[in-house]
Structure 1
Amino acid sequence: MGSKDKDNEEIELHKNGTPRKHDKNFKGPIENRSCTDIICCLIFLVFIFGLLAVSILGFVWGNPNRLLHPTDSSGLICGYDAEVKDRPYLVYFDISKCAQMGPSAVALGCPTPQVCRKSCTTEYYVYLETVSKASIGLLQQADIDKMVCKDSITITESTSEEEIQKYVGDNDCAAYYVETTDIVGRCIPSIFKTILETAKDAITYTAVNTDGSNITYNLTNTDNTLISGSVISQGTGFLALFYSASQEAEMVFKDVVSAWHLIVIFLVIAMVACFVWIVIMRWITGFMVWFSIFAVLGVMGFGCYYSYSQYYDLKNSNSTSEFGIAQAFALNFSYYLTLKETWLAFGCTTATFLIIFLLILIFLCHRICIAIKLIEEGSKAIGNMIFTLFWPIIPFLLQIIMIAYMAVAAVFVASMGGREYYRNDTSSQIGSDLLSDLPCNENDTTFGEFCGFVKYGGDQYIIPLEVFLLFMFFWLMNFIIALGQMTLAGAFASYYWAVNKPKDIPTMPVLSSFYRSIRYHLGSLAFGSLIIAIIKMIRVLLEYIDAKLKNSENPVAKFLIKCMKCCFWCLEKFIKFLNRNAYIMIAVYGRSFCPAAKDAFFLIFRNVVRAMVLDKVTDYVLFISKLVVTAGVGVGAYFWFQGKVDFFTDYLPKLNYYLVPVIVVIMGTYVIAATFFNVYTMAVDTLFLCFLEDLEVNNGKDRPYRMGKGLQKLLSKKNKKYEEPEEENRA
């Protein structure tokens, strides 16, 4: 019977992993270690060289001005190229053509001739006005100046009406234009201000005739089709929305630039606030947690008491209000409060939650105390290794550099494409209208069509290169995060395993841990971050498929995509959790990624309840901490930039939106708080794994505990003096 129990115990240990054996020479992170996951390191380096090659290709062949500035039908960049240096605005010949492209007009451009101009058009015009004057030989320079033509076309006062009609018919001159507004260099019709209000059908305008009388013209295109307000609206809606957003973004950017020095000051204040808060957390953590727990209990208890009081009051008053279907669909909340059934439901619900919460508190009280002690121990560890608070600045700067580099590389690669031309069927009716909007070869004259330049792009290699850049962005960002986590894990592990704290802590624990990480474990870091990068790419692909299926009528496909998105979101969270703990084991014991991940998983699995309680308590404490710091700095920034602080009003810059720097400060403060408190999270996670190892490996006698006296007291543990047997002494 005893043999059978022993076998079952061994099987159970095998299933849940085997605790590490005691090593009397172990005093913290192992110094004598070797390189891990070398193959992953080599693959990572190959991809780095690939990234550099793609970036260099973009820097050599790309031109970001193609994306930042409008381009005319000749491929000239308005306001940038020498030929059009003094003409920064782009005018569309037939804006109604954009309607045929729909939302894709933003990405693909409008298949209509476009020219660079010194200014946008400020009035209505139709070519019939010029034709009528040319027909009687009264064409003047003022009439010529009204026309919008390509640079290759020259019109003089002697130009005949037939020539003008030919120019318009060949799309060398615009048949019409309307009043336009400059939006990011593009002349977009002021449709929402004027046309929709005054011309829902055909658009008309009044001009002065040759005899001095007024004459009314209808706007028409080259086919003499009337141009209505709805056509212009359809043609410019997406463009106006996109370019208006771009213009607003430009104004927001200017506000950030104007207030950058004040933003930096507030972010420095946020850093100081985070530092002070972490220092005092060793004294306030217990109060925060227990106060919150009893506050929740008090609120639930009061809610239960109040609900039952209301129920009995309504019951004793013989209330005649009854629940009905009509009232239910009316969603009349005040009516519900007159029903005794409502208060009975409230009372039962709050009582149920109160009982569950009390039971959880009773059974987990001891583990909550352990979690609080570990959080306080994390604060002590940070206090003894102050440089750990400043270490996140290095990964943060690396991430900023990486984001900037990848953004610049992506812009250059995106601007590598050649010129794209679209058919503009003006001299032939061969083919459908849809065919005329398809790309064509600029030298193709098969159908007698004019191929007009629309935009730069279309290179078949650009999209794969951009996908590669996105993948490398995910990989490198997670690699930097992993490097920061492993470095901190090694530092905090050296604190925990020190026999006499803080005397036995290494002189430079953070730098030593950083050296070990980059000297021995680049492959393991690359391995863990590669897994996250692959999952993120799959999630991006699922988002793309989901967007494509948005207008689909296949509910099964939509449901499957939603399920897959949810599953991969959960998978990413789990892998990040596993990676973080694997990095801790690597930092301490110098093992490869997979064995370290396995050891970490089974160690946590053997102590799953403790891990869950610690995780939730830590999350709560750090959430409150982030909230306090972010809210405090954000409120200060709000009053400052709104001009409520009279003493400093002279230092306020001129802003378009005063909330812009406030939002930037709030976002920056949250990022800084998250960065600082991530150090705290890493400290607690590292100390927790070390604490579990300590409990499993040591016994307080011949194998003394390394945990602090506070944890020993809480667990009723104590290191006792131990004398070796005489046989061992003689040996």
Structure 2
Amino acid sequence: MLISSKPFTRRCFPALGIKGNEVTVGNSTDFQDGEGRTVQAKDLLPAVKNATIVAETRIVVMKIFEDFTQSWYWILLGLVIATILSLIFIVLLRFLAGIMVWVMIVMVILVIGYGIFHCSMEYVHLKNAPGANITLVELGFQMDLNVYLHIRQTWLAFIIILAILELIIILLLIFLRKRILIAIALIKEASRAIGHVMSSLFYPLLTFLLLAIVIAYWAITAVFLSTSNQAVYKVFNQTECPYARRTCNPENYTGTEMAIQCPNSQCLFAFYGGESAYHKYLILLQFYNVFLFFWCANFVTALGQMTLAGAFASYYWAFSKSNDMPACPVFASFGRALRYHTGSLAFGSLILAIVQVIRVLLEYLDHKLKGAQNKFAKFLLCCLKCCFWCLEKFIKFINRNAYIMVAIYGKNFCTSARDAFFLLMRNVIRVAVLDKVTDFLLFLGKLLIVGIVGILSFFFFSGRAKGVDLVPNLHYYWVPILTIIVGSYFIAHGFFSVYAMCVDTLFLCFCEDLERNDGSAARPYYMSSTLHEILLKNTEEPAVSSPSSPQEEEVPLRTQKASME
């Protein structure tokens, strides 16, 4: 349809106006759509509003892209600093585990406290600023996110969030103060294990590389699937034309009746579509591609977990740590996982991938039914999404411990998952008070690194660092700050995931050691005497033994190797 228009951000928009109390386009309140129907000018308002949002979003995206081009080298420097801090923290944990844990706890509290102090100062500073007392509801959604930083309510929200986080951490530390001492002992043992297997710190780089390959393969396949349909071409006209938006063939368009009657028109590509049989199955193929992506990504993650578990298990089940351990424990464990346990890795990752694809299907249905008015359907869909989220978390927990048991004994996935589950259930108190407390302390370590790097990047990019004249000229200084914070978290998570896997492996080996051995000369413990004394003294749970169990005759592979030697 041809209507009066005006340029806006290099696009043609309807020339809407107000004449009296009516909306007009040009000088008319209605117009013909070219097919004999009359359209009211006011009916264009929703479309113009949405198009304006799209245009403004495009401008913001371009500004963000320009900020990345201006600050990418500073972002890389920030990520390098996060990597160095993570390495320093890991090395210090190796020699000063107890001191570093308490320093980490105090530093996290101080960093969050400084965040509360800074937000409070900004809140007070904006007290008499014009327009600062407007509420976020009145402000609405703004494409320029810097606007929110000039509103007092934004800083008040930051203060409340940080204060709640600080309170939760302090309360957890108060209630878990006795368990922290036990967790420190487990972290010390993990530090010794990592000291004997230092190459494990760099294994996450291989996992990251493999995941990058999987993501790239999935993305390329998705693009090929989306563009492998028939290309649809339509007539685009600059003047009035009865064949506007009709399909055409660009190869012989110039000699057709459409081109003769509309000399200023062109036959241009519109979209990929058509009525081919392949088009009917395109969504199914895309879902299949997503399923393969989840399966391969879970397989890569499972391979890393089993490799690290095998390396740390070889440390635990060695009487003499320097003599009985293999020369390259990570490489040896990686080879065993690929040679003997590929089926277990594939089966465990398959179960997890099926659950994740079901969650994607539920999200797809939720998107399709967003406009439905059936309250029961929405409630049922919400319940299903919640149940499958919990199921995914449970399967990840079971898979992680099953891979540890596979690395120790070499059994199949189902048997290892059953043995790991019942072993943890027999030691459920230790799981609650030791393993999870250790995970909490390692999470505080991630927060500390992210907080330090985030504060440094904030002072640099906001121009508040005195004496620094190298700040790039940016549209939004929060773009590189958020990028560095997110990247720093993933970097810290990569290093601390090795520690977490080490702790989980040693903890499962510890529980297994208690059930297999009694500390006598015939059946000595493999754990260190310090770890044995602290864990048995403080967990307030006697060692569980089941001599009548058929599993009593099972011996870990590391023990078998030591006995043979």
Q: Same fold (TM over 0.5)?
A: yes
Q: 1:402 to 1:196 in 2, by over 3 A?
A: farther
Contact 2:71/2:480, CA 8 A, preserved across alignment = yes
The answer for the alignment partner of 1:641 in structure 2 is 461
Q: 1:242 to 1:479 in 2, by over 3 A?
A: farther
The answer for the alignment partner of 2:375 in structure 1 is 555
Match of 1:544 among 364, 371, 385: 364
Q: State how far apart, in whole Å, the 1-side matches of 2:83 and 2:443 are.
A: 16
Quick check: 1:518 aligned with 2:330? no
Contact 1:289/1:617, CA 8 A, preserved across alignment = no
- Please identify, of 601-610 and 653-662, the stretch whose mean Cα deviation from structure 2 is larger: 653-662
Contact 2:97/2:191, CA 8 A, preserved across alignment = no
- Please identify, of 551-560 and 452-461, the stretch whose mean Cα deviation from structure 2 is larger: 452-461
Match of 2:451 among 618, 621, 631: 631
Quick check: 1:179 aligned with 2:16? no
The answer for the alignment partner of 1:597 in structure 2 is 417
Q: 1:290 to 1:246 in 2, by over 3 A?
A: closer
Quick check: 1:672 aligned with 2:477? no
Q: State how far apart, in whole Å, the 2-side matches of 1:188 and 1:684 are.
A: 61
Shift of 1:414: 1.1
1:256-278 CA-to-partner distances (Å, cap 9, x unmatched) read 23322221121111111112222
The answer for the alignment partner of 2:408 in structure 1 is 588
The answer for the alignment partner of 1:381 in structure 2 is 193
Q: 1:685 to 1:716 in 2, by over 3 A?
A: closer
Unpaired runs of 5+ residues, structure 2, are: 110-166, 258-264, 538-565
Match of 1:230 among 21, 38, 42: 42
Q: 1:655 to 1:528 in 2, by over 3 A?
A: same
Matches within 5 A, 1:25-44: none
Q: State how far apart, in whole Å, the 2-side matches of 1:676 and 1:196 are.
A: 62
Kindly provide the amino acid, as one letter, of the partner of residue 202 in structure 1.
T
Match of 2:273 among 423, 447, 457: 457
Q: 1:535 to 1:685 in 2, by over 3 A?
A: same
Kindly provide the amino acid, as one letter, of the partner of residue 412 in structure 1.
F
Kindly provide the amino acid, as one letter, of the partner of residue 276 in structure 1.
I
Shift of 1:198: 10
Q: State how far apart, in whole Å, the 2-side matches of 1:472 and 1:406 are.
A: 8
Q: 1:267 to 1:618 in 2, by over 3 A?
A: same
- With the length of structure 2 as denominator, give the TM-score of the two structures: 0.71
Q: State how far apart, in whole Å, the 2-side matches of 1:223 and 1:548 are.
A: 30
Q: 1:647 to 1:573 in 2, by over 3 A?
A: same
1:471-521 CA-to-partner distances (Å, cap 9, x unmatched) read 111111111111111111011111111212345432211111111111111
Kindly provide the amino acid, as one letter, of the partner of residue 402 in structure 1.
V
Q: 1:716 to 1:204 in 2, by over 3 A?
A: closer
Contact 2:318/2:325, CA 8 A, preserved across alignment = yes
Runs of 4+ in 1 over 6 A off after TM superposition: 196-199, 216-220, 223-228, 289-293, 421-424, 439-443, 450-453
Q: 1:488 to 1:525 in 2, by over 3 A?
A: same
Q: 1:703 to 1:456 in 2, by over 3 A?
A: same
Contact 2:406/2:413, CA 8 A, preserved across alignment = yes
Contact 2:307/2:330, CA 8 A, preserved across alignment = yes
Shift of 1:400: 2.0
Unpaired runs of 5+ residues, structure 1, are: 1-93, 95-174, 206-215, 297-349, 429-435, 718-731
Contact 1:420/1:455, CA 8 A, preserved across alignment = yes
Kindly provide the amino acid, as one letter, of the partner of residue 291 in structure 2.
F
The answer for the alignment partner of 2:514 in structure 1 is 695
Quick check: 1:202 aligned with 2:29? no
Contact 1:199/1:229, CA 8 A, preserved across alignment = no
Q: 1:507 to 1:453 in 2, by over 3 A?
A: closer
User: Paired residues, what number?
Assistant: 453
Match of 1:619 among 432, 439, 442: 439
- 3-state DSSP of counterpart to 2:271: strand
1:296-335 CA-to-partner distances (Å, cap 9, x unmatched) read 9xxxxxxxxxxxxxxxxxxxxxxxxxxxxxxxxxxxxxxx
Matches within 5 A, 1:675-686: 675-686=494-505
Contact 1:289/1:621, CA 8 A, preserved across alignment = no
Contact 1:421/1:453, CA 8 A, preserved across alignment = yes
Shift of 1:388: 1.1
Contact 2:234/2:269, CA 8 A, preserved across alignment = yes
- With the length of structure 1 as denominator, give the TM-score of the two structures: 0.55
Quick check: 1:660 aligned with 2:479? yes
Match of 2:396 among 571, 576, 597: 576
Shift of 1:284: 4.8
Q: 1:471 to 1:492 in 2, by over 3 A?
A: same
Q: State how far apart, in whole Å, the 2-side matches of 1:416 and 1:291 are.
A: 53
Q: Decide which structure has greater helix share.
A: 2
The answer for the alignment partner of 1:77 in structure 2 is none
Q: State how far apart, in whole Å, the 2-side matches of 1:382 and 1:461 are.
A: 50
1:621-674 CA-to-partner distances (Å, cap 9, x unmatched) read 022111110011111112222233455533x44433221111111110011111
The answer for the alignment partner of 2:135 in structure 1 is none
- Please identify, of 248-257 and 462-471, the stretch whose mean Cα deviation from structure 2 is larger: 248-257
- Please identify, of 681-690 and 233-242, the stretch whose mean Cα deviation from structure 2 is larger: 233-242
The answer for the alignment partner of 1:78 in structure 2 is none
Q: 1:590 to 1:217 in 2, by over 3 A?
A: closer
Matches within 5 A, 1:450-529: 454-457=270-273, 459-529=279-349
Q: State how far apart, in whole Å, the 2-side matches of 1:659 and 1:684 are.
A: 36
Q: State how far apart, in whole Å, the 2-side matches of 1:567 and 1:285 are.
A: 39
Shift of 1:188: 4.8
Q: State how far apart, in whole Å, the 1-side matches of 2:20 and 2:495 are.
A: 58
Quick check: 1:189 aligned with 2:189? no
Q: State how far apart, in whole Å, the 1-side matches of 2:270 and 2:349 are.
A: 41
Match of 1:402 among 214, 217, 226: 214
The answer for the alignment partner of 2:229 in structure 1 is 417
Matches within 5 A, 1:98-497: 175-182=2-9, 187-189=11-13, 195=17, 201-204=23-26, 222=34, 230-281=42-93, 283-285=96-98, 288=101, 365=178, 369-420=181-232, 454-457=270-273, 459-497=279-317
Q: 1:587 to 1:274 in 2, by over 3 A?
A: same
Aligned-residue RMSD, C-alpha = 4.0
Q: State how far apart, in whole Å, the 2-side matches of 1:197 and 1:538 are.
A: 53
Quick check: 1:530 aligned with 2:354? no
Shift of 1:536: 0.5
Sequence identity percentage:
44
Q: State how far apart, in whole Å, the 2-side matches of 1:486 and 1:399 are.
A: 16
Shift of 1:440: 8.3
Shift of 1:200: 5.4
- 3-state DSSP of counterpart to 1:656: coil
1:436-455 CA-to-partner distances (Å, cap 9, x unmatched) read 99x98999x9xxxx999742
Kindly provide the amino acid, as one letter, of the partner of residue 205 in structure 2.
I
Shift of 1:228: 6.3
Contact 1:285/1:621, CA 8 A, preserved across alignment = no
1:3-25 CA-to-partner distances (Å, cap 9, x unmatched) read xxxxxxxxxxxxxxxxxxxxxxx
- Please identify, of 281-290 and 627-636, the stretch whose mean Cα deviation from structure 2 is larger: 281-290
Kindly provide the amino acid, as one letter, of the partner of residue 604 in structure 1.
L
- 3-state DSSP of counterpart to 2:326: coil
Q: State how far apart, in whole Å, the 2-side matches of 1:545 and 1:697 are.
A: 50
Task: Report which of the two structures shows the higher radius of gyration computed on alpha carbons.
Answer: 1
The answer for the alignment partner of 1:566 in structure 2 is 386
Q: 1:525 to 1:190 in 2, by over 3 A?
A: farther
The answer for the alignment partner of 2:151 in structure 1 is none
Kindly provide the amino acid, as one letter, of the partner of residue 280 in structure 1.
L
